[in-house]
Amino acid sequence: MIAKVNIKGGDMEEMAAQLKEGGVEDLAAQLEEMKTRLAAVEKKMPEDKLSMIVFSGDMDKVLAAFVIATGAVAMGMDVVMFFTFWGTPALRDKNKKVGGKDAMGKMFGTMLPKGTCEMKLSKMNMGGLGTAMMKRLMKQKNVATLEQMLEMADELGVRIYVCEMSMDLMGLKRGEMVDYQHIDYCGVAKFLEEATGSRVQLFI
Amino acid sequence: MIAKVNIKGGDMEEMAAQLKEGGVEDLAAQLEEMKTRLAAVEKKMPEDKLSMIVFSGDMDKVLAAFVIATGAVAMGMDVVMFFTFWGTPALRDKNKKVGGKDAMGKMFGTMLPKGTCEMKLSKMNMGGLGTAMMKRLMKQKNVATLEQMLEMADELGVRIYVCEMSMDLMGLKRGEMVDYQHIDYCGVAKFLEEATGSRVQLFI
Amino acid sequence: MIAKVNIKGGDMEEMAAQLKEGGVEDLAAQLEEMKTRLAAVEKKMPEDKLSMIVFSGDMDKVLAAFVIATGAVAMGMDVVMFFTFWGTPALRDKNKKVGGKDAMGKMFGTMLPKGTCEMKLSKMNMGGLGTAMMKRLMKQKNVATLEQMLEMADELGVRIYVCEMSMDLMGLKRGEMVDYQHIDYCGVAKFLEEATGSRVQLFI
């Protein structure tokens, strides 16, 4: 059948040329390639997440970590805290006791603070006087205590990971850690996995 | 009118097929979708910005923070520093005096260093001896003092935010802080907002 | 020649319309623009790299830095460590001696730890007792020593940069640093360059 169409022959030739060189087929291929690249970029893009290593066991630094953590959740961010080394004892429950510790573990158990209540300031501790002063001041200024912060963090869904190597080194047992819904135990790989996908990472 | 075109019927059929399945219309739609995704990725992409929390009040750490800050500006980066907790007193002006402090505020005011001049080393302070030695050494080696660093940072446009909660806790008043063009006062939300859009974040 | 093609006139008109308004030519231009934007995004995207500033000279913190560094390499990440200030002496070789130091340099040389063996805990050092205890504990728990960590890091290809300003301040010479294949000396600009292209940055 002969095509009866209302277009000029020139248009048809142009169309044919466009479709041939750099034409539809080629555009589709380019688009496919870009889609793949865009998907790769999207996958690599860090999430709206904050990852913190809490290495320090100083009251002021752990407080800062929780202020940042709860603030981030309030802004809609996903928050993960990794407690390692001196930070680990901050998560001990002062009312829990566990047995089966070796001599070294018992010694560490006595020397390390039992939870957030027993933690001290990094500066001006002055034999506990500075820490007590700061706590009174925080109460007076309506700043939440570390205990309240921990509770709030749990309610807000802040995930806490505790470093297993630190637990092992200090002879700490899971049975003596605080009751926290979103607590888990892990190694450095887990932290790196979370940190790599986070927009903000801090070592505290 | 009958189209007189110099193309073969097979080409026309191919063209028609291309335009139908995965054709121009479809390509345009795909392109639109990709544009939206690309714009989202571009918006989420962190800026060429450095955000630092200066938590420490140690001379050496604050010095490191300013070396990094001024270095980053020199490389064309936008730089924001958040002074919190022990870092806050580093920004007190040694020549300014304010009244209206309560007993606790007065006590803190006396105990905390008045600006960068009174800050001490985190290690080997040795009752001030190590700090004095380091200062002499820095002068000898032509390393800028903290006072010079602060001035340079201001000239370079480094933005400084001071944590309001820390100011309140330590009883510090805005009237006793250094004259700095790009200073402002804020809470943790402001830091997180800046940090989220930054390529580099550090907790010092 | 008259085209004998098996398509309807309506299809041809539609094709022509599609090619004219928002047609192939336009699509190609849009695609080009998107390619440029996508390439810019890809270029800015941080690499799978970890940059750490090791400012601290505390045994526990440097240990944490190496645990993170070697863990990251094991996960396929590129790792760069910047040793500055108190971290610098951690890289001194205990068996190397260099001459030509001025009085200040000699004094620092004696006071600063000579390599990882002489480093102390940041907390509970207790006149060296705590540090010794921790070392025994680490051996017992099969945690690698700092010396072993450094060796492992070298084998794994962890790049180490030493801050030249710190070396100069403390009077340290390159001749007294450890034998490490991937060691180099740099300023803050180098760190910022690496950090800017990294997914994770930490100040330790």
Concatenate the DSSP letters of all residues of B72-126 into one string.
HHHTT-EEEEEE-GGGGGGGB-TT-------HHHHHHHHHS--SGGG---SS--G
Q: B87-121 b/e with 16+ CB inside 10 Å = b?
A: bbbbbbeeeeebeeeeebbeebbeebbbbbebbbb
Query: Are the Cβ atoms of B124 and C104 closer than 8 angstroms?
Result: no
Q: What is the DSSP string of A87-127?
A: GGGGGB-TT-------HHHHHHHHHS--SGGG---SS--GG
Dihedral of alpha carbons B127, A120, B53, B87, sign: negative
| Residue C77 to residue C184: CA distance in whole angstroms | 19
Query: Are the Cβ atoms of A111 and C124 closer than 8 angstroms?
Result: yes
Q: What integer is the mean pLDDT of C185-193?
A: 95
| Amino acid (one-letter) located at C140 | Q
Query: Are the Cβ atoms of C15 and B15 closer than 8 angstroms?
Result: yes
pLDDT value at residue C128: 82
Dihedral of alpha carbons A16, A21, A22, A27, sign: positive
pLDDT band at B30 (very low <50, low <70, confident <90, very high): confident
pLDDT value at residue A8: 55
Number of helical (H) and strand (E) elements in chain A, helices listed first: 8, 5
Query: Are the Cβ atoms of A15 and B15 closer than 8 angstroms?
Result: yes
Is A141 strand, coil or helix?
A: coil
Q: What integer is the mean pLDDT of C38-66?
A: 94
Report in angstroms the alpha-carbon separations of C15 from A9, B15, B18, B26, B30.
Answer: 14, 9, 10, 13, 18
pLDDT value at residue B10: 61
**Mean confidence (pLDDT) of chain B:** 88
Q: What integer is the mean pLDDT of C36-45?
A: 92
Q: What is the DSSP string of A64-88?
A: HHHHHHHHHHHTT-EEEEEE-GGGG
Which of the two residues, B55 and C124, has the higher pLDDT score?
A: B55
| Residue B85 to residue A130: CA distance in whole angstroms | 14
Token match 């001599």: residue? A103
Question: What residues form DSSP beta bridges with B162?
Answer: B83, B185
Task: At C80, list the tokens.
Answer: 């760069």
pLDDT band at C22 (very low <50, low <70, confident <90, very high): very low
Task: At A141, list the tokens.
Answer: 């200024």
CB C122 within 8 A of CB C61: yes
pLDDT digits (tens, 9 = 90+) for C138-172: 898 888 999 999 999 999 999 999 999 999 999 99
Chains A, B: CB contacts under 8 A, how many? 115
Query: Are the Cβ atoms of A13 and B19 closer than 8 angstroms?
Result: no
Mean pLDDT in order along chain A per 10 residues (204 residues): 50 60 72 91 92 95 96 96 95 90 86 88 83 88 91 97 94 94 96 94 97
Chains B, C: CB contacts under 8 A, how many? 113
Residue C102 has pLDDT above 60, yes or no: yes
pLDDT value at residue C3: 46
Q: Could you tell me what percentage of chain B is helix, strand and coil, using 3-state DSSP and rounding each to the nearest 5?
A: 55, 15, 30
pLDDT digits (tens, 9 = 90+) for B32-76: 899 999 999 999 999 999 999 999 999 999 999 999 999 999 999
Query: Are the Cβ atoms of C3 and B12 closer than 8 angstroms?
Result: yes
Query: Are the Cβ atoms of B203 and A199 closer than 8 angstroms?
Result: no
Question: What residues form DSSP beta bridges with C159?
Answer: C80
| Residue B21 to residue B27: CA distance in whole angstroms | 10
The residue of chain A nearest to residue C79, with distances taken between CA atoms, is A192
Residue among B116, B114, B126 at smallest CA distance from B172: B114
CB C107 within 8 A of CB C78: no
Query: Mutate which of B50, B53, B66, B67 to disrupt the C interface (most C C-beta within 10 Å)?
Result: B67
Of B24, B72, B199, the CB nearest to C24: B24
DSSP character for A5? -
pLDDT value at residue C14: 65
Question: What residues form DSSP beta bridges with A183?
Answer: A160
Strand ranges (DSSP E) for C47-106?
A: 47-54, 78-83
**B12 interaction partners in chain C (CB closer than 8 Å):** 3, 5, 7
| Residue C131 to residue C141: CA distance in whole angstroms | 15
Query: Are the Cβ atoms of C200 and A196 closer than 8 angstroms?
Result: yes
Q: Beta strands A78-83 and A159-163: pairing type?
A: parallel
- Name the neighbours of A, counting chains with at least 3 Cβ pairs within 8 A: B, C
The residue of chain A nearest to residue B8, with distances taken between CA atoms, is A16
pLDDT value at residue B18: 56
Query: Are the Cβ atoms of C123 and A57 closer than 8 angstroms?
Result: yes
Query: Are the Cβ atoms of C104 and B9 closer than 8 angstroms?
Result: no
**A103 interaction partners in chain C (CB closer than 8 Å):** none
Chain B nearest CA to A178, separation (Å): 26
The residue of chain B nearest to residue A9, with distances taken between CA atoms, is B5
Chain A nearest CA to B19, separation (Å): 8
Q: Beta strands A47-54 and A198-203: pairing type?
A: parallel
**C25 interaction partners in chain A (CB closer than 8 Å):** 18
Report angle CA B90, B93, B95 to the nearest 5 degrees.
145
Chain C nearest CA to A59, separation (Å): 13
| Residue B158 to residue B147: CA distance in whole angstroms | 14
CB B161 within 8 A of CB B80: yes
Residue B21 has pLDDT above 60, yes or no: no
pLDDT digits (tens, 9 = 90+) for C75-93: 999 999 999 999 999 999 9
Task: At B15, list the tokens.
Answer: 């063209």
Q: B154-178 b/e with 16+ CB inside 10 Å = b?
A: beeebbbbbbbbbbebbbbbeebbb
Chains A, C: CB contacts under 8 A, how many? 114
Residues whose CB falls within 8 Å of the CB of residue A175, separated by 6 or more in sequence, listed in order: A96, A98
State the maximum Cα–Cα separation within chain B, in Å, rounded to a whole number: 102
Token match 């402001």: residue? B190
pLDDT digits (tens, 9 = 90+) for B187-202: 999 999 999 999 999 9
Residue among A115, A179, A131 at smallest CA distance from A151: A179
Three-state SS annotation for C121-158? CCCCCHHHHHHHHHHHHHHHCCCCCHHHHHHHHHHHCC
pLDDT digits (tens, 9 = 90+) for B157-180: 999 999 999 999 999 999 999 999
pLDDT digits (tens, 9 = 90+) for B66-105: 999 999 999 999 999 999 999 999 999 999 989 888 888 8
As a whole number of Å, the CA-based R_g of chain A is 29
Residue C13 has pLDDT above 80, yes or no: no
pLDDT digits (tens, 9 = 90+) for A180-191: 999 999 999 999
pLDDT value at residue B142: 87
Interface pTM (ipTM) of the complex? 0.86
pLDDT value at residue C84: 96
pLDDT band at C1 (very low <50, low <70, confident <90, very high): very low
Which of the two residues, C23 and B202, has the higher pLDDT score?
A: B202
Residue among A139, C41, A29, C5 at smallest CA distance from B5: C5
Which of the two residues, B12 and B198, has the higher pLDDT score?
A: B198
Query: Are the Cβ atoms of C143 and A189 closer than 8 angstroms?
Result: no
**Mean confidence (pLDDT) of chain C:** 88
| Residue C42 to residue B148: CA distance in whole angstroms | 39
**A34 interaction partners in chain B (CB closer than 8 Å):** 34
Prediction pTM value? 0.88
